[in-house]
Chain A
Amino acid sequence: MAAPNSCKATENPACGLCCTKINNFAVNLADTVILQDVNLHIHCGELTAIIGPNGAGKSTLLKAILGEIPHQGELRFLDAANRSTSAPLVGYVPQHLDFDPGAPISVMDLFGASTSRWPVCWSHRQAQRLNCQTALKRVQASHLLDRRLGKLSGGELQRVLLALALTPIPDLLLLDEPVSGVDQRGMEIFYEMVSDLRHRYDLSIILVSHDLNLMARYADRIVYLNKTVICSGTPAEVFNNDQVIKEFGKIELCPLDVDHSGKGD
């Protein structure tokens, strides 16, 4: 599907050569300015977290990147060979699925429907099942293959959706508040997994989150968004910014290794 990409094929630590540029994004809905002058530069192998108050336009920005909401400005993706495209392969993990838990959709159905044209109501081909299994293994969820979506726990569903967003490995991965309804431990496991996958597949990740403490730990860069980019930089830079402190209070920056002592995993 995607053009062969030397950067991704090698599953090596960040090559840092590919990047995503968002230039002058603006979204207006019925005369109301939702977003304006949004400029972001996202490197591959980096997890960029978008934080901001409710109604700041965080989800809107993701939907604009997805092309679901009309926007001004442009999105450019530069791959390792310096080829530029305005339509990178985007993986998306939605905030929640609005599906009916009683619907007889198995995890395999969801994968088959997303990755092939062979109608899943007819059958699943063996090759498809193997692909799906491989994808689920990336998030330690291969035992969920034939489970009904409605029977998965919040955390299991998020891992399945993450596996789906990584099939095929995208240029850009968008996560919209991906752990709503998951307990604290589940969130940590999820972010550790995302963090690990980012290095392994050299992904550019944009993440919308409300959990600032977790973002302080796992994000490489933080963008404070409120209609436009108020400030951006490393967690240390952003969480020491006066405006951010005014909005959210002081966030403790705890390095990963300190925190691990208590977890014992």
Chain B
Amino acid sequence: MAAYYAWAQNLLPFQWAQYSFMLNALLAVFLVSPLFGILGTMVVNNKMAFFSDAIGHSALTGIAIGVLLGMRDPLAAMLAFSVLLAIGISLVKAHGKSSPDTVIGVFSSTAVALGIVILSRGGGFARYSNFLIGDLLSITVQEILMLLIVLIIVLLFWARFFNQLLLVSVNPSLAGSRGIKVLYIEIIFSVIMAIVVTISIQWVGILIINSLLILPAAAARNIAGNMRQYHVIAVLIAIISGLTGLILSYYWGTATGATIVLCASLFYVLTLWGYAKFN
């Protein structure tokens, strides 16, 4: 508790709040956290943790393609590639006979290897290492606006399609018997996930973006009894970890994304304890 009080007293003068980059990052945290908290609930329910991980890793190939095409900002190439990959995996998963894990593993490792081969040509891979860790403090006002638009799109999608998404996650045949186009819903969801993950990679980093998606939901499901609680708790955990991680990373001089993920992991441990206690 002593450490907590020291930290709170440190916080009161709001030294960090004097910098505009910190205020930008603060805004970004308020947009990214609910976005990841909400999406994560269904990623975890659909057992798609590996899938979102693959999408994150495929960003390397997107960057490589962007570089080959001579783009200064490879985001468009990254988006295009991850969306294609998301659709590809969904289709192969639906029609193939191998287990989804194998299918995703094959796609993902091929994509990562291809990306590294292209980017490391001539020994210049270090230039792209900022994509591995990400830098939330570099976020610009335009990018914050883009995040806001993405958040609104996800909220609209959730409002319209959440029920169908939930039924598909419970049992595809049951969903089909209720007139839900299962494959269509799965593809839209994975495309939205691919877009959100890819856009966020430059700030959160390839290595840890999946943790940010999975952890709040994984923690929330330990203590939630229904879908409403699940969402509320996941979003709260995401926002609190986001704020705490941002401020801590300022004082510690650490990478923001990773610090946020550590905070979320702490929540997971806490809910696990709560689960053991109350169940």
B65 → chain A closest CB, angstroms: 35
Q: With an 8 A cutoff between CB atoms, is B231 at the interface?
A: yes
Query: Of B160, B176, B224, which one neighbours A104 at CB under 8 angstroms?
Result: B224
Residues of A80-109 whose CB lies within 8 A of B: 90-92, 94, 97-100, 102-106, 108-109
Q: Which residues of A contact B226 (CB under 8 A)?
A: 104-106, 108-109, 146, 148
Contacts of B167 in A (CB 8 A): 110, 113-114
Residues of A within 8 A of B170 (CB): 97, 99, 105, 110, 113, 149
Please name all residues of chain B whose beta carbon is closer than 8 Å to the beta carbon of A123 when the two chains form the complex.
228
- Whether B162 and A119, one on each chain, are in contact in the complex, defined by CB atoms closer than 8 angstroms, is yes
**Are A66 and B176 in contact (CB-based, < 8 A)?**
yes
Q: Which residues in A have their C-beta under 8 angstroms from that of B224?
A: 104
Q: Is B102 part of the contact surface with A, judged by Cβ < 8 Å?
A: no
**Is B163 in contact with A63, judged by CB distance below 8 angstroms?**
no
Number of A residues whose C-beta is below 8 Å from B?
39
Q: How far is the CA of A253 from the CA of B210 in the complex (A)?
A: 59
With a cutoff of 8 Å between Cβ atoms, the chain A residues found around residue B231 in the complex are 121-122
Q: Of A92, A110, A122, A124, which contacts B177 at CB under 8 A?
A: A92
The answer to whether A109 and B178 have CB atoms under 8 Å apart is: no
Within 8 A of A (CB), among B151-207: 158-160, 162-164, 166-167, 169-171, 173-174, 176-178
Determine whether the beta carbon of A97 is less than 8 Å from that of B174.
yes
- Closest chain A residue, CB of each to CB of B180: A114
B127 at the interface (CB under 8 A from A): no
A residues in contact with B230, CB < 8 Å: 104, 121
**Contact status A119-B225, CB under 8 Å:** no
Q: How far is the CB of A261 from chain B (nearest CB, A)?
A: 38
What distance in Å separates the Cβ of B180 from its nearest Cβ neighbour in chain A?
9
Q: If A66-B176, A66-B177 touch, does A121 touch B158 (CB 8 Å cutoff)?
A: yes
- Chain B interface size band reads 20 to 34
B229: CB under 8 A from chain A? Answer: yes
Complex Cα distance A113/B163, Å? 4
Q: Determine whether A262 belongs to the interface, using a CB cutoff of 8 Å to chain B.
A: no
Inter-chain contact B225/A99, CB cutoff 8 Å: no
| Shortest Cβ gap from B182 to chain A (Å) | 8
Compute how far the CA of A68 lies from the CA of B41 in the bound complex, rounded to whole angstroms.
27
Q: Which chain A residues border B57 with CB–CB below 8 Å?
A: none
> Judging by beta carbons under 8 Å apart, are A92 and B174 in contact?
yes
Q: Known: A68-B173, A121-B231. Is A104-B163 also a contact (CB below 8 A)? A: no
Q: Does A67 contact B (CB under 8 A)?
A: yes
Q: How far is the CB of A31 from chain B (nearest CB, A)?
A: 14
| Pick from B163, B171, B220, B229: contact of A117, CB under 8 Å | B163
A97 touches B176 (CB 8 A): no
**Contact between A104 and B159, CB atoms less than 8 A apart:** no
Within 8 Å of chain B (Cβ to Cβ): is A120?
A: yes
When distances are taken between beta carbons in the complex, the residues of chain A under 8 Å from B225 are 104, 106, 146, 148
Q: A104-B227, A106-B226 are in contact. Are A120 and B166 (CB under 8 A)?
A: yes
Complex A-B: 13 CB contacts under 8 Å: A68-B173, A105-B227, A110-B170, A113-B166, A113-B170, A114-B174, A119-B158, A120-B162, A121-B166, A121-B231, A122-B231, A124-B228, A146-B226
Residues of B within 8 A of A (CB): 41, 45, 47, 158-160, 162-164, 166-167, 169-171, 173-174, 176-178, 220-222, 224-231
Extra contacts, 5 of them, besides A94-B171, A121-B158 (Cβ < 8 A), are A102-B221, A105-B170, A110-B166, A114-B163, A122-B231
Question: Footprint of B on A, CB under 8 Å?
Answer: 63, 66-68, 90-92, 94, 97-100, 102-106, 108-110, 112-114, 116-124, 146, 148-149, 161, 164-165, 174
